[in-house]
Structure 1
C-alpha cells in the first residue's frame, strides 16, 4: 500500500501513523545500501582478524596490543551494530521497535566514547615507550593495561547512560510515526558531550604525540652532532633513533586519520540543529564510522606481525596444535 502522494509506507497496516520510506530514486537507494553494507561487512571482517590475531598468538599479548585489541572490539561493534542500524534509520525503515531503538542509541554512545578513551590510552602507552623507555616495562604492564581498558569501557557505559536515560525509560518518546528511530539532543548537552568526548581527549592526544615527535627529532639531531662517539655506541643510538622516528611517523598517521574521520561529525553536529538527522550530520557520522574500517588497514601497513597473522588465519594454520606459540615478531 502507498500513501496518497505515492510514497511507500513502512507499515502499510498503519496508514495514518506509519512513516514513509526513503524518497531516494531506486538506483541510488540500492547503490547506497550496497555501499554501506559492503563497508560494514569489511569493517567486521578486518577487525575480526585483529581480534583473532591478538587473542590467539601468545607472543602478541603485549600491553600495546591489548589496547589495539580493545580498539578492534569497538571498531568491530561499529561495523556489526552501528552501521546496519544507520542503514535502517536513514535509508529504509526502523522495523525493530522503540525499545531496540533506545538500546541502539545507547550503544551508539558507548562505542565511540570507549574508542576515544582507548585512543588516549594508546597515546599514553606510546608516550611512555618513546619518551621514558627505561621505565616502560615497570610502568606499563599487562595487568595495568587490562585494568585501564576495563575502566575505560565501564566509564563509557556509565557516562552514556546519563545521556540516554530518558530514552531508555520512555522508548520512542521522540518518534513521530511508526518506522522511525530519532535521536534528539539539546544544544547544551551536545556541547558538554563535545568537550568531554572530543576536545579534551583529542587535545591530550595531540599534546602527547607532539611531545613524542619532538623527543624523536631532538634525539636524532643529538645523534648527528656526536660525531666523535664510539662507533658501536653510534650504531646502537642510530638504531634506537630510527625506531623512534618510525614510531613517531606511525603515530602521526593514526592521529591524522583519526582527526579527519572524527572532526567533521562533531563540528557539524555542534553547529547544526538539535535533531541529529540532517544530511551533513549523517555524512559526518558515516565518515566517523569509516575510521573503524581504516584502523586495521593502518595496522596492515605498519605492523608485519598483523600481515603474518592474517596469512596464518586465512590459510587455517591457526587450527593446528601449538599454533598459538608461533613466532610472530
Structure 2
C-alpha cells in the first residue's frame, strides 16, 4: 500500500515548489499553506452564501438563485475536497493507493468545476430569456424545469470527465501527488474532447447571451430616455437618464462570469500546451490549477459586494447570530445572579 505522498530515494518529500522545503520539517510548507488557506476561504465563504440564501427570501424570487446556490454547493464541495491533497502533503496515512486517490481527486474537482461553469452558462441563458421574452418568461422558466436543468448539469459533468480514469489526466490536479506528476499524463485527444464538450460551448453561450443582453438593455435605455425627454420637454421639466432595470443585475452576473474565466484562462492555456507537448512545468501546473480553484471563493465575494439584496440578507443573518449570542449571555448571567443583567450585546 502506497503512502499518499511518496518520497524519493533521498528521503526528501516530493515538493513542486522546492524553494519552500525546509530540512527541519518533513512536508512541503508552501504547498500546504496555499492549499489550506484556499480551503478555509472557500468553505467559510460558501457556507455564508448558502445560509444567506436560506435566510433572505427575497433572493429566492430570482430564478437565477437556483443556479447561484448550485454553484455555492459545488464550490463548497471543492473546498472540502481540498482536504485530500492537504492530508497528503502532511503525510497523513490514506487507506487507498496514491494512484487511485489522485485519480478520484482529479475527477471530483473537475466535475465540481464543470458544474460551476455550466451553471454560469445557464444563468446567462436565464437572463437572456428574461430580457428577450419577458411576457412568456414565467411559463418558459418554471421551478420543475430548473430542477431538471440542475440535475442535467450534474449528470452531464459526471459523464464528460468519466473517461479520465482510462483516457488521460482531466486537470485540476496540481500534481501534488507524485503519481499524478510522473505517471498520469494528459492526452491531446481527451483535452480536445473536453474543450469541445464543455469549455467551448460554455464560453460561446456566455459571450453570445451577455452581448445581446447589454445590446438590448442599451436599446431599451435609449428608447426610455427619448420618451422621457419628449414628455419632459412638453411639460417643461428636465428628464434624467434612467438605466435599464435588468442591466444592473446582469452586470453582477457578468462580473462573476468574467472573474471566473479570467482565473481559468491561465490554467486552460497551460492545459492545452501540456496536452500538446509544447510546454510542461510542475510549478506552472500547480499555480495555474490552484488559481482556477480559487475562483470557488471569488464567486461569493463578488456576489456579496455587488448585490444589495444579498447584503441585506447578510446583515439579517449577522443580526440573528448576534441576537442569539446576546440571549445566551443574558440567560447565563441570570442563572448565576438574578440581580445582574447583561449590558453587552450585538446591535445591527
TM-score by structure 2 length? 0.73
Is 1:78–1:111's contact at 8 Å kept on the other side of the alignment? yes
Say which SS state the counterpart of residue 13 (structure 2) adopts.
Answer: coil
The 1:37–1:134 alpha-carbon spacing in structure 2 relative to 1, beyond 3 Å, is same
Return the offset for 1:125.
1.0
Is 1:70–1:149's contact at 8 Å kept on the other side of the alignment? yes
| CA–CA separation in structure 1 for the residues paired with 2:5 and 2:270 | 29
Q: Show CA shifts across 1:218-272 (max 9, x none).
A: 111122223324899x9xx976x43233234323322321221111111111012
Match of 2:115 in 1: 114
User: In structure 2, which of residues 13, 24, 32 is the aligned counterpart of residue 20 of structure 1?
Assistant: 13
Q: Show CA shifts across 1:188-218 (max 9, x none).
A: 1112212322122111111100000100111
Is 2:117–2:202's contact at 8 Å kept on the other side of the alignment? yes
Match of 2:337 in 1: none
Match of 2:128 in 1: 127
Match of 1:30 in 2: 29
Is 2:167–2:187's contact at 8 Å kept on the other side of the alignment? no
Return the offset for 1:130.
2.3
Greater shift, 298-307 or 21-30, is seen at 21-30
Number of equivalences? 297
Is 2:13–2:28's contact at 8 Å kept on the other side of the alignment? no
| CA–CA separation in structure 2 for the residues paired with 1:29 and 1:185 | 25
Return the offset for 1:301.
1.2
Q: Is 2:296 the counterpart of 1:301?
A: no
Return the offset for 1:274.
6.6
| CA–CA separation in structure 2 for the residues paired with 1:18 and 1:315 | 53
Is 1:105–1:164's contact at 8 Å kept on the other side of the alignment? no
- Structure 1 or 2, whichever has the larger Rg, is 2
User: In structure 1, which of residues 254, 274, 283 is the aligned counterpart of residue 287 of structure 2?
Assistant: 283
Q: Is 2:248 the counterpart of 1:246?
A: yes
Q: Show CA shifts across 1:129-184 (max 9, x none).
A: 2232222222112221111001110111122212225689xxxxxxxxx9644442
| CA–CA separation in structure 2 for the residues paired with 1:85 and 1:30 | 16
The 1:71–1:92 alpha-carbon spacing in structure 2 relative to 1, beyond 3 Å, is same
Q: Show CA shifts across 1:71-103 (max 9, x none).
A: 11111112221x3445566x6668533333232
Return the offset for 1:317.
4.6
Question: Which structure is higher in RCO with an 8 Å CA cutoff and minimum separation 6?
Answer: 1
Is 2:218–2:244's contact at 8 Å kept on the other side of the alignment? no
Matching of residues 179-190 of structure 1 within 5 Å: 180-182=179-181, 183-190=184-191
Return the offset for 1:185.
2.0
| CA–CA separation in structure 2 for the residues paired with 1:282 and 1:61 | 37
| CA–CA separation in structure 1 for the residues paired with 2:106 and 2:11 | 21
Match of 1:219 in 2: 220
TM-score by structure 1 length? 0.77
The 1:32–1:20 alpha-carbon spacing in structure 2 relative to 1, beyond 3 Å, is closer
| CA–CA separation in structure 2 for the residues paired with 1:165 and 1:87 | 25
| CA–CA separation in structure 2 for the residues paired with 1:249 and 1:59 | 19
The 1:109–1:297 alpha-carbon spacing in structure 2 relative to 1, beyond 3 Å, is same
| CA–CA separation in structure 1 for the residues paired with 2:5 and 2:85 | 16
RMSD over aligned CA atoms reads: 3.6
| CA–CA separation in structure 2 for the residues paired with 1:102 and 1:125 | 34
Return the offset for 1:68.
0.4
The 1:248–1:56 alpha-carbon spacing in structure 2 relative to 1, beyond 3 Å, is closer
| CA–CA separation in structure 2 for the residues paired with 1:279 and 1:139 | 47
Match of 2:68 in 1: 68
